[in-house]
Amino acid sequence: MSLSVSIRHSFGAFSIDVGFEAPTGVTALFGRSGSGKTTVINAVAGLLRPQSGHVTLDGRVLFNSDTNAFTPVHRRRLGYVFQEGRLFPHLSVRQNLAYGRWFAPREAGSAGDHVIEMLGIGALLDRRPGALSGGEKQRVAIGRALLARPKLLLMDEPLAALDEERKAEILPYLERLRDETDIPILYVSHSMVEVARLATTLVLIEAGHVVRAGPAAEVLSDPESVPTLGVRTAGASLHAIVAAQEEDGLTRLETSAGRLLIPRVEAEIGARLAIRIPAQDVILSRTRPEGLSALNILPAKVTAVRLGEGPGAIVQLKAGDDLILARITRRSALALELAPGADCFAILKTVSVAQTNVGGAG
């Protein structure tokens, strides 16, 4: 199952010209507010008819300006989850879910029990939306969309209206959705935490244009992506396996580059995790440092250096099999003579790894 998008549309002085391919998994559209992300997802949904281009889902043409083809919204077989749950307030959770199931094709088998278990909403079935938290409402809204058995799930900043605690509550359910279903998901967000944890494909949009697209791990670890990602939020991920739960409240991980200690995460020994490392939390040394309070020191090799127009620099490093980024000053990069091929050590404070930056490896 794959989605192909190539659309052009103008709104007065603002125009979009966007093209990308979205395979199975989570394809995240990331960019600043006003960059055109919601316009793209609305065009895929059929809520907007672009002036030119095409939208094709698994070989089925949803829109093509050359042939004047345009499939109406109700025939596209798409699920749409908005920022707010938009549940029917007079219906129970069970009845809201049944409404979604009503749109499923008759030949489709029942997936209700699996969806309810996957989203953890079994205990909510007899409640009405007014008695649910924001995170619970969003999980029910996702369940309703899934029970319609869509060919594609569209999610337009589904966590934007939630506080940080509710976001942390729902992110593991979205990871399960990514890992346990074969429905492609088009996910709009301007939260790097969400994108880094969920996306398998990443499309960076700036001022209505795609500036970078590809596998999420590659895009996130590319120094050339940093201007669009934002220097304060840029970072890459290390893949790790839970090796032990230490007595002092730390979790010991094994990565391809070596041991990593982070604040305790509730995960079984052997579980595979993806650990997002913000570039600004990485310190570099050309020699192995001694006498530091930092517990995480990983050997690495410089693979790319991007000097910014200001005082900053972004260094891409190969640590074992993973690529990570370090944000340092231009002065430090020059003083350390950092260049592709240079050996160095990446230093990471244990407590700098936030729980929100730890997710299941998709």
Please state the domain extents for the chain: 3-220, 235-360
**Can you tell me whether residue 49 is helix, strand or coil?**
coil
Taking CA atoms, 359 is separated from 241, 276, 309, in Å, by 12, 8, 34
In this predicted model, what pLDDT tens digit does every residue of 35-83 receive, in sequence order?
999 999 999 999 999 999 999 999 999 999 999 999 999 899 999 998 8
Q: What is the CATH number of domain 235-360?
A: 2.40.50.100
Between residues 84 and 172, which one has the greater pLDDT? 172
Look at residue 109 and tell me whether its pLDDT is greater than 70.
no
pTM: 0.88
Look at residue 154 and tell me whether its pLDDT is greater than 70.
yes
pLDDT average, residue stretch 124-138: 90
Reported as a pLDDT band with limits 50, 70 and 90, residue 359 is: confident
pLDDT > 70 in the chain, percent: 97
| pLDDT reported for residue 103 | 67
Reported as a pLDDT band with limits 50, 70 and 90, residue 108 is: very low
| pLDDT reported for residue 12 | 87
Look at residue 100 and tell me whether its pLDDT is greater than 80.
no
Nearest alpha carbon to residue 116 among 128, 134, 98, 89: 98
Taking CA atoms, 290 is separated from 201, 294, 345, 350, in Å, by 39, 10, 12, 16
Residues 6+ apart with CB under 8 A from 12: none
pLDDT average, residue stretch 180-195: 89
| pLDDT reported for residue 104 | 66
What is the CATH topology of the domain spanning 3-220?
Rossmann fold (3.40.50)
Look at residue 110 and tell me whether its pLDDT is greater than 60.
no
φ and ψ at residue 54, rounded to 5 degrees: -150, 155
In this predicted model, what pLDDT tens digit does every residue of 313-348 receive, in sequence order?
999 999 999 999 999 999 999 999 999 999 999 999
